[in-house]
Structure 1
Amino acid sequence: MTDALHLLSLGKGGWGGALLLAAGVTFALSVLGFLLGALFGAVAASGRLSTRAVPSWLAKGYGTVFRGVPDLLTIYLLYYGGSIALTEIGKFFGSAGFVGLPTFATGVLAIGIISGAYQAEVYRGAYLAVDLGQFEASKALGLSRFQLLRLVIVPQLMRHALPGLGNVWQLVLKDSALISVIGLVELMRQSQIGAGSMREPFVFYLAAAALYFLIAAVTGSVFRYGEARAWRGMVHA
């Protein structure tokens, strides 16, 4: 027990600082990926809701592919495909050797693309849950399309979307551990390094699990608070 506490301490010879820093990388990676996914999801949801064939077909294809392909494969394809493309561009301009994509940026993009496919369905379902009477009342008031979205639709859409977005966030947090396969030193990778260096896998992986749980618990409470505020003063099933 004493040895384990020393290994996880913040002092000299302890790995606590490195694990906390890696947890910060995991959190930043997850937040940025989730926000990028919100952008992709909003665009895809509007495509799914479109009456035009091409946007609807493209949005359906995006969701089907990235919800169906394993997340790890998506990460590999983005990193190695992008790195090969950069290497070829570098060769064209006279550079020699392999040019790899920045691992953090690749991780954010991969998580954004993957989570966007799930967020699109959340936003689409939330939009369909908005009472049609709200649209009719907005037209009767003479609101412009922008005013309709900003003042009426988006606030009500987010009210319905928050529970689903909380679930997607938990998936994003867990998917962030997969980014370690391309070399990013986030929480999972740092715990692997510590476990291998000190030959104490149980200690480091248990510490990583505790940090993941802490992040999930705190952020989950934020989503629950947001949901409670959104439904404040209203009756819902």
Structure 2
Amino acid sequence: MSEVTPQQLKEALQTHFNLEELSLFAFDVGIPYEELGGSGLSGKALALVQYAQRHGKFDQVVQAVALKRPSVNWDAPTNQPTNPPTSQPASVQYHFHGQVVGSAIGGGSVQAENIAGRDIIIGQAPQSREEFNDQLAALRQLLEEAVANGEIPDERDAADVVEDIDDALAEAAAEEPRANRLQRYLEGASDILDGAAKAATAAGKAGLAVLKAAPIAAALVKAVQVLF
């Protein structure tokens, strides 16, 4: 088995476990499931992987998955479609409202990979805490892609924005989330992402994860005081 990536581990968890099984699995590996952010199987799987990374349990979780689900093929490409060949795969749209990053997008819609299990409205603030948590989980996945692809050139900025979003996920999952903390974490992340997105736009780059992440972060900042 080659070295397992966070994305491969997340795919294995959400493919080979249901929510109840994932809860029991978290208990077995010493991860407090009730403290994990995210909603739905994809969100919980992502939150579990992030927790394992932050607390030095990543290798332990990989080994536990391999033991409990020996059929997992770690070397298979991730994000393969599960629809039968005769069916039309489901698609999710990102809806961009108005100017998002500089003059990169002025309207219309863009087809994008399903990263949160539902439509993500970019540039539009979430209307409920559930939508807030979904968009935050989607932002974390985009951020993972952006960092892996070197879209945030400064290593310290990349580390800071990951830490800020992870802290925001943990705070949002708390029994009584504190708005001031969420605001602080998200503003820090938004500043870094906005700078990286503007740099990418100035360089004529399109389709980068950071260009999708920046407007989500900005919308979440605006939503904090309303929802929390």
Q: For the superposition of Structure 1 and Structure 2, which TM-score range results when normalised by the shorter chain?
A: under 0.3
Q: Which structure is larger by alpha-carbon Rg, 1 or 2?
A: 1
TM-score of the aligned structures, taking structure 2 as reference length: 0.24
Structure having the higher helix fraction is 1
